[in-house]
Amino acid sequence: MYQGNRGMGLENLINLTNDTYNRKGLAVINKRPTPVKVMKSKGTKVLSGFYESKSTVDYDGVYQGRAICFEAKSTGEKRFPLKNIHQHQLDYLYLAENVGALCFFLIEFRKLNQVFLVPFSVVQHYVEHAKLGGRKSITFDDFNFYAAAEVRTGNGVPLDYLPVLEKLIREGAA
């Protein structure tokens, strides 16, 4: 369970983690901005604008010579609603994984103060099952049982997900 930085948003924790990985020379992972067309601004403040196009994924970069792409999601429930994932995100992760990228989700259960790294293939399985009439969410028990691995604070990193990713690579799950 990650204990540090309570109350800090998942995205901020990931950004701090990625900055730490970069400083330590472990990985270069960047937050991808959503493309926005600014119509009116004053200084650095955007007064009006619109999304030009759908973004791809939240984060991408390089780890041990391999591309890495992932989405960060958070839920206040004891289940993760699949409706929180957009089709264009699944499409991008599918394409990236097929050309060799390491693709996954970091999913936070806010009330339980736990974050899990879930391989893209696992989420894709649940999404496909839901399309066929199955559950429209992944239960917390599924995360604990077989769907994912918990991410913890460690090695001076707020949300140390690389050891979890490394374990999945060794096991052939990523």
Query: From the CB of residue 147, how many other CB atoms can be counted at a distance below 10 Å?
Result: 20
Q: Give CA separation, 86 vs 4, 45, 90, 104, 170, in Å.
A: 30, 28, 7, 14, 29
Query: From the CB of residue 49, how many other CB atoms can be counted at a distance below 10 Å?
Result: 12
> Is 71 part of any known ligand binding site?
yes
Which among 51, 79, 60 is positioned nearest to 120, based on CA atoms? Answer: 60
> Is 56 part of any known ligand binding site?
yes
Q: Are strands 59-63 and 27-31 parallel, antiparallel or unpaired?
A: antiparallel
Q: Is 22 exposed, middle or buried (0-12, 13-18, 19+ CB in 10 A)?
A: middle
Q: Output DSSP code: residue 144.
A: I
**Are the C-beta atoms of 9 and 159 separated by less than 8 Å?**
no
Known binding-site residues equal: 56, 58, 71, 89
Known binding-site residues for Mg(2+) equal: 56, 58, 71, 89
